Structure formats: structure tokens, C-alpha cells
Amino acid sequence: MAPPLPSCVAGRVLASVALVCFVGGVVPRTTCGQPAVAEGAGVFTIADGAISLEAPAGWQRVQPKTGIVETEFSIPSEGKAADGAPLAAGRMTVMGAGGSVEANIERWYGQFTQPDGGSTKDASTTKKMKVAGRDVTLVDIAGTYQDSPGGPFAGGKTIQRPAYRMLAAIVEGPDGSYFLKFYGPASTVEQHADGFRRMIEGMVPAK
């Protein structure tokens, strides 16, 4: 009798059967088990462990809310919303996906509307850079966010979140791209924007 498959290999086989899909031009990619963590909860890897990043101090690593997200952080907010309620925490998700850089950025533009009815694309900025040998595109979008708590392809009710902002990085590689998306109340994202950019600029090869 052949020896049983190691659990990691078996997990990959099951994942390949259960998660082969193509939705809206984006093909979620999974890895076996949780992403590798080195030296502390703030350090994580992308691209099957090839690239290492360190989240800013104070960001709390949490269990991802959806299966297509590989790594997730909760970012503390300060202050109160216009109605006096505490501001929601910021959120950063990390996932691998397909589709072109341009198509995904256009999709993100469509998740925001502007209070004056103007173009979200015109109100946003993008920047291309090279980090750790990878092409990286940074995106900065603000406005009213059409939030889908269960994920962009889960369906269900969409929640309108005024005065939100998203900083995102698309990290390209030979096996596809990785998205790092940090979004939340605009004041929270502004407070942590430099930390997010330093995290992206500080990417290093992990192996």
C-alpha cells in the first residue's frame, strides 16, 4: 500500500478541486495552510513565501474573514464618526489573484463613488515602482466605499461607507499578482499611510 500523502500535499489537492473557479476575471489562489510567519505576528510572506514584509507596529494580525484572503490585519482607529459612534477599524487584506493590473484597478474605482458625482478615477492616484525585483503599482482611492463584508464575489447586501479611503499595492510576479489592500475611514488610513508605504518599500526576498 502506498504511504498516505503528507497533510500539506493532501490539502493542496483538495484545494485545487474545491477552488478552481473564475469569477469576474479574478482567479483566487490559495496556499497550503496559513502564510508563513517569521519572528513575530507583524512579519508575513507573499508569493508562496518568496517575498517577506513587516506590518507597521500596532497592526493586529487576525483570522481572515473570507477564504480567498491569505493574511489579514486590523488597524486601530482613533476619534469618532459624524454621528458620534467610534470609527470602525481599518482593514488590510492580502491575497493572490489573476487579471491584469489595469483591469483590477478599474474594478476598484468602481467600488467608490464621489460626493460630487465626479469621476473616482480622476480623483485617484497611481504610482509604479520596483521593489525586491518586483513591479509594484500603488493605488490611492477615496470616496464613498461600496463595502461587501463577505467579499467582492459573495453577493449579499452592500454597505455604503462615506469618507473612506483605500491604499493598495499590486505586486506582480511570474506566477501572478498579489494584492495588499488597506482601507477604512479616511482619517485612519491617513494616520497609517506612511507605515503602509514603508511596509511596501521594505519588501525583501525571503528565500
Residue 139 lies in a domain: yes
Phi, psi of 203, deg, nearest 5? -55, 140
* Rounded Cα distance, 49 and 34, in Å: 11
CA torsion sign for 164, 165, 171, 177 is positive
With contact defined as beta carbons under 8 Å apart, do 53 and 68 qualify? Answer: no
Residue 16 lies in a domain: no
Question: Which is nearest to 66 in space by CA: 31, 100, 94, 102?
Answer: 94
Domain range spanning residue 68?
35-205
Residue 197 lies in a domain: yes
3-state DSSP assignment of residue 14: helix
1 to 5, 6, 10, 13, 195: CA distances (angstroms):
12, 15, 17, 20, 54
State the average pLDDT for the chain.
83
With contact defined as beta carbons under 8 Å apart, do 92 and 72 qualify? Answer: yes
With contact defined as beta carbons under 8 Å apart, do 164 and 185 qualify? Answer: yes
Query: Which helix (H) or strand (E) is 146 found in, with range?
Result: strand 134-147
pTM: 0.78
> Facing residues of 93 across strands?
72, 181
Residue 18 lies in a domain: no
| Grid coordinates belonging to 66 | 473570507
Number of independent structural domains in the chain: 1
Confidence of residue 85 (pLDDT cuts 50, 70, 90): confident
35-70 pLDDT, tens digit each: 333 345 799 999 999 999 999 999 999 999 889 999
| pLDDT reported for residue 80 | 84
Residue 1 lies in a domain: no
| Grid coordinates belonging to 100 | 491584469
> Domain containing 92 — which CATH number?
3.40.1000.10
Residue 125 lies in a domain: yes
136-186 pLDDT, tens digit each: 999 999 999 999 866 665 566 889 999 999 999 999 999 899 999 999 999
* Rounded Cα distance, 75 and 188, in Å: 8
Residue 158 lies in a domain: yes
Residue 201 lies in a domain: yes
